[in-house]
Structure 1
Amino acid sequence: MHAKQLENVFKLESKERYGYLIRKIADFEQVFLIADKEGNYVTCGTLDKLIIPIWPEQQFALKFIKTEWKNCVVKMVELDKFMDWMDKLETENYLVGGFPNQKLNSIIVKPLELKKHLIFECRQYE
C-alpha cells in the first residue's frame, strides 16, 4: 500500500476503520498483532481492562514498531486460529482494539462481538 493511502486510512474515524478492518480480515483471512520478543501479544489499557490491538494489514501494525513498541515484531495470525482464540480472550476478560490509529484510538469490542462481526462478513464472501 502506498504511504499516502496508508495515512488516509489511518485518518478515518474509528468506526470507519473498524469497518475496514472487518472487511480486510474477512477478505484476506488474516489479522496482524504486535508481539514482544517472548511472543506475548502487546496490550494497552489498564490492569482491569486489557485491550489487545489488531490491524488488518501488516503495514499498519509496522507503524507502531517504530514508535510505541520498539523492541517488538508484527505477527500474522490466520483467521481460523484468531476466531478460536476469541473464545479464550472472552473468558479471560480481554477486549480487542479494532484497528488503532497512531494515537491508539479505536473501536473497543468484546472478543465474541468481534467474532460475530467477522462471521457475518465472511458469509458475504461465500
Structure 2
Amino acid sequence: MDNIKLLNVQSLDSHKRLEYLIRKVADFELIWSSYGDNGWLLLSDENGRRITPFWPEKEFVNEYNITHKYDYFAKKIDLYYF
C-alpha cells in the first residue's frame, strides 16, 4: 500500500472508514491489530473503558504504532478466529 492510499483512507469520515474496514475484512477474511510483549494493545476511552483497536490492513497498524511510538507490531487475526 502506498502513502497516498493510506492518507486517503485516513481522511474519510468515520462511517466511510468503517465501511472500508468491513469491506477489506470480508474480502480477505483477516483483521489486524497491534501485539507486543504484554499482549494486545489496549487503550482507554474518556470513561476508562478498555478498547482494542483493529485495522483492515497491516500498513495501518504499522503507521499507528510509529505515530504513537508504541513498541508493538502488526499481527493478523483470522476472521474465523476473531
Instruction: Note whether the superposition's TM-score is higher than 0.5.
Output: yes
Provide, for residues 71-111 of structure 1, a one-character-per-residue CA deviation record: whole Å limited to 9, x for no partner.
111110000001xxxxxxxxxxxxxxxxxxxxxxxxxxxxx
Instruction: Specify the alignment match of 1:56 in structure 2.
Output: 56
What is the identity percentage for the equivalent residue pairs of Structure 1 and Structure 2?
A: 32
Q: Is structure 2 residue 4 aligned with structure 1 residue 4? A: yes
Instruction: Specify the alignment match of 1:25 in structure 2.
Output: 25
After TM superposition, give the deviation of residue 5 of structure 1 in Å. Answer: 1.1
After TM superposition, give the deviation of residue 67 of structure 1 in Å. Answer: 2.2
After TM superposition, give the deviation of residue 28 of structure 1 in Å. Answer: 0.2
Query: Which consecutive unaligned segments of at least 5 residues does structure 1 have?
Result: 83-126
TM-score computed with the length of structure 1 as normaliser: 0.60
Q: Which has the higher helix share?
A: 1
Instruction: Specify the alignment match of 1:124 in structure 2.
Output: none
Q: Structure 1 stretches (4+) deviating beyond 6 angstroms? A: none
In the alignment, the residues of structure 2 paired with residue 70 and residue 48 of structure 1 have an alpha-carbon distance, to the nearest angstrom, of 19
Provide, for residues 11-56 of structure 1, a one-character-per-residue CA deviation record: whole Å limited to 9, x for no partner.
0001110010011001100000001223x11121247411110000
Instruction: Specify the alignment match of 1:42 in structure 2.
Output: 41
CA RMSD of aligned residues (A): 1.4
After TM superposition, give the deviation of residue 70 of structure 1 in Å. Answer: 2.6
The answer as to whether partners of 2:61 and 2:73 remain within 8 angstroms in 1 is no
Aligned pairs, number? 81
The answer as to whether partners of 2:43 and 2:51 remain within 8 angstroms in 1 is yes
Query: Which consecutive unaligned segments of at least 5 residues does structure 2 have?
Result: none
